[in-house]
A and B are shown apart, each in its own frame.
Chain A
Amino acid sequence: MKPLQRILRAGRHLLLYALLALYLSPFFFVLINSFKSRRDIVSNPFAFPEVWSLQNFIHAFQRMGFIPAFVNSLVITVFSVLVIAVFSAMTAYLFVRTDWRFNKFMFFAMVAAMLIPFQAVMIPLVQIYGGLNLLNSLWILIYMYLGFGTSFAVFLYHGFIKGIPLELEEAAMIDGCSRFQVFFKIVFPLLKSTTLTLIILNVLWIWNDFLLPSLVLISPANRTLPLTTFYFHGTYTSDYGLLMAALMLTILPVIIFYALMQKHILKGVMEGAIKA
Chain B
Amino acid sequence: MATEKRFLDRLKTYLLFAGPTTFVFFTVIILPFLFGVYLTFTNWDGIAKTYTFVRFSNYATVVRDRMFWNSFLLTVKYVFYTVLIVNALGFVLAYALTGDTVRGQNLLRTGFFVPNLIGGIILGLVWRFVFSNVLVFIGRSLKIGPLSYSWLANPDKAFWTLVIVSVWQYSGYMMIIFIAGLTHIPSELIEAATIDGAGGFHRLRTIILPLMVPSFIVTVFLTIQRGFMVYDVNLALTQGGPFKSTELISMFVYEKAFLAQQYGVGQSQAFFLFLLVAAISLTQVYFTKKLEVEA
Contact = CB atoms under 8 A, between A and B. Distances in A.
B45 to A, nearest CB: 11
A211 B257 CA distance: 14
B154 to A, nearest CB: 19
B275 to A, nearest CB: 9
B120 interface: yes
Most chain A beta carbons < 10 A, residue from B96, B115, B270: B270
Contact of A204 (B108, B116, B263): B116
Contacts of B29: 113, 116, 121, 147-148, 151
Contacts of A83: 20
Interface string A249-276: 0110011011000100110011001101
Contact of B18 (A20, A90, A211): A90
B22 A106 contact: yes
Nearest to A29: B134
A164 interface: no
Nearest to A94: B17
Interface residues of B, number: 84
B32 A26 contact: no
Given A12-B102, A210-B120, A247-B122, A90 B25 contact: no
Contacts of B116: 204, 269
B180 A273 contact: yes
Interface in A69-124: 83, 87-88, 90-91, 93-95, 98, 100, 102-103, 106, 109-110, 113-124
Given A95-B18, A146-B28, A229-B125, A211 B231 contact: yes
A45 interface: yes
A150 to B, nearest CB: 5
A229 B121 contact: yes
Given A102-B14, A146-B24, A147-B27, A121 B33 contact: yes
Given A123-B257, A151-B25, A273 B222 contact: yes
A169 interface: no
B277 A208 contact: no
B32 A124 contact: yes
B236 interface: yes
A147 B127 CA distance: 33
Contacts of B2: none
B118 A230 contact: no
Contacts of B18: 90-91, 94-95, 103, 106
B13 interface: yes
A270 B177 contact: yes
Contacts of B228: 117
B21 A146 contact: yes
A151 B26 CA distance: 11
Most chain A beta carbons < 10 A, residue from B96, B117, B179: B117
Contact of A91 (B21, B27, B121, B218): B21
Contacts of B259: none
A39 interface: no
A118 B33 CA distance: 10
A120 B35 contact: no
A172 interface: no
Contacts of A26: 126-127, 129-130, 168
A123 B134 contact: no
A23 B97 CA distance: 16
Contact of B121 (A121, A179, A180, A226): A226
B221 to A, nearest CB: 10
Interface of B: 10, 13-14, 16-18, 20-22, 24-25, 27-33, 35-36, 39, 46, 93, 96-97, 101-104, 108-122, 125-127, 129-130, 133-134, 137, 168, 172-173, 176-177, 179-180, 218, 222, 225, 228-229, 231-232, 235-236, 250, 253-254, 257-258, 263, 266-267, 270-271, 273-274, 277-278, 281-282
CB-CB nearest 6 A-B residue pairs = A147-B28, A208-B119, A120-B274, A94-B17, A124-B36, A270-B180
Interface of A: 9, 12-13, 16-17, 19-20, 23-24, 26-27, 29-30, 33, 41-42, 44-46, 83, 87-88, 90-91, 93-95, 98, 100, 102-103, 106, 109-110, 113-128, 143-144, 146-148, 150-151, 154, 179-180, 183, 204, 207-211, 215, 226, 229-230, 233, 240, 243-244, 247, 250-251, 254-255, 257-258, 262, 265-266, 269-270, 273-274, 276
24 contacts: A13-B103, A23-B112, A29-B130, A30-B126, A94-B14, A98-B10, A115-B278, A116-B274, A117-B273, A121-B36, A121-B270, A123-B257, A123-B266, A124-B32, A124-B33, A124-B36, A151-B25, A208-B118, A208-B121, A209-B119, A255-B117, A269-B173, A273-B176, A273-B180
